[in-house]
Amino acid sequence: MSRERLAGLLKAAFAVALAADLLALLAGSGTGHLVAKPLLMPLLAAYAAVRGAPRLLVVALAFGWGGDVFLLVDADWAFLVGMGSFAAGHVCYLLLFGRARTSPLLGACYAAALVTAVILLWPDLPADLRIPVAGYSLLLTATAYRASGLGPVAGAGGALFMLSDTLIATGVAAWPQLPAPDFWIMLTYGAAQYLLTAGVLTPSSAGRPLPTGPVAVPSPPGRPRS
């Protein structure tokens, strides 16, 4: 089987797994969600690897898988470990994006959004989660901003990642939620990771070309909270 065909099959499998997860959430099937959600990042990482992605991208997706799995456990310790795994993934993304040119105005908008979100959420977050959530939010915002340097595809992925995790944070803060909140979290999260992957694999001419193949990185340790 050619690499192109294998990549196409893996991308299709990711789309099917994401659709199955979203349908399970809409149907209220906890079992379907438990089965489908852990498949998402391994399939996307395999697709990226077959496409010759930088190793940092594959590692970032592996950390995303760790976060996905831990957030399936309904416990504060699992939430913190999952958030830490996602944070490690954001560090990988930031290293991968490097110093691609970005808009100062967009950076100011992201900074304003970060400060506003933290100020509004802070009083309603559990006391022991306030500092970790604020620190994670800073990393997440940096990822969203730096992703824009690769072009509109990766930029959209970064923005959706920020939206997805903001939805999670509002749930932790016990704010009123949209109907089927986990559906919207997974929809934006799945789209975010795919768009970031696509943006890295095919950066726009405005962004810095990214290397393909292995890149030396540390080995990793080990999404809606449902």
Domain ranges in the chain are 3-201
Instruction: Give the model's pLDDT for residue 217.
Output: 42
pTM for the full model?
A: 0.89
Q: What is the pLDDT along the chain (226 residues), one digit of tens a residue?
A: 899 999 999 999 999 999 999 999 999 999 999 999 999 999 999 999 999 999 999 999 999 999 999 999 999 899 999 999 999 999 999 999 988 889 999 999 999 999 999 999 999 999 999 999 999 999 999 999 999 999 999 999 999 999 999 999 999 999 999 999 999 999 999 999 999 999 999 976 444 445 545 444 444 444 555 5
Q: How far apart are CA 46 and CA 40, in angstroms?
A: 10
Give yes or no for a contact between 226 and 33, defined as CB atoms under 8 angstroms apart. Answer: yes
Tokens found for residue 34: 């438990």
Which helix (H) or strand (E) segment is 171 a member of?
A: helix 152-172
Tokens of 156: 């959209």
Q: How far apart are CA 54 and CA 20, in angstroms?
A: 28
Count of CA atoms in the C-beta half-sphere (13 A) of 209 = 3
Residue 98 to residue 210: CA distance in whole angstroms: 9
Where residue 174 falls (left for φ over 0; alpha for ψ -120 to 50; beta otherwise) is left
